[in-house]
Chains A and B, each alone.
Chain A
Amino acid sequence: GQSLEQPSEVTAVEGAIVQINCTYQTSGFYGLSWYQQHDGGAPTFLSYNALDGLEETGRFSSFLSRSDSYGYLLLQELQMKDSASYFCGVRDDKIIFGKGTRLHILP
């Protein structure tokens, strides 16, 4: 079967760094995407990795290891507005999303 695993919740302090992990088991793989979704809002695209390594976009970075079927999203200099759910998604002939990680940020 196809599955993606992410922690259900993560808590961090404002200004700190947090890492959200994602492991996947899918029949096909073209890349790993990350999306952010605030309560009541639509998912918005954050980052994408097709090849192994680190991609950096401002305060957000994403990492992929295809041999380990593993990736993570790294959020630096956390701000209160980063409180949201974060989904990893594997792209093969469609995009399959994990159940999401709820990020709580403490002041």
Chain B
Amino acid sequence: GVTQSPTHLIKTRGQQVTLRCSSQSGHNTVSWYQQALGQGPQFIFQYYREEENGRGNFPPRFSGLQFPNDSSELNVNALELDDSALYLCASSSGQGPSYEQYFGPGTRLTVT
């Protein structure tokens, strides 16, 4: 399945954070989402074969990487209090967003 690390994280405003995701075996597309409490997942960006091929309405301080082994990272610079949320990664096969994505358990980020 899809795994994410760490499970929980507490950071201070202005700091930088890196979240990690390991996709399901055989999946070459990974998407990252931000989910605030009581809200639906908001699309941050998507990577296919190590290239970003879709981005939501998030500022450039949200960046990512996808590695050849289909693991990926989400980096957030200059953390703000509103960045506190559950960050989900989801993997799927194919180039575009699949209708069936496999989500990881998420990383709960708290910014103080």
Contacts and interface: CB of A to CB of B under 8 A. Distances in A.
A joins B in a complex: yes
Contact of A95 (B2, B31, B38): B31
Contact of B40 (A48, A94, A100): A100
Interface in A44-100: 44-45, 48, 50, 87, 89, 91, 93-100
Interface of A: 4, 30-31, 33, 35, 41-45, 48, 50, 87, 89, 91, 93-100
A40 to B, nearest CB: 9
A103 to B, nearest CB: 14
A30 B99 CA distance: 9
11 contacts: A4-B40, A45-B102, A48-B99, A91-B99, A94-B97, A95-B43, A97-B41, A97-B42, A99-B38, A99-B40, A100-B38
B100 A48 contact: yes
B103 A44 contact: yes
B54 A43 contact: no
Given A33-B100, A94-B31, A42 B40 contact: no
A94 B52 CA distance: 12
Nearest to B36: A99
For the complex of A and B, 4 pairs with smallest distance between CB atoms: A97-B40, A42-B103, A48-B99, A94-B54
B99 A50 contact: yes
B63 interface: no
Given A41-B105, A42-B88, A87 B99 contact: no
Contacts of A93: 54, 96-97
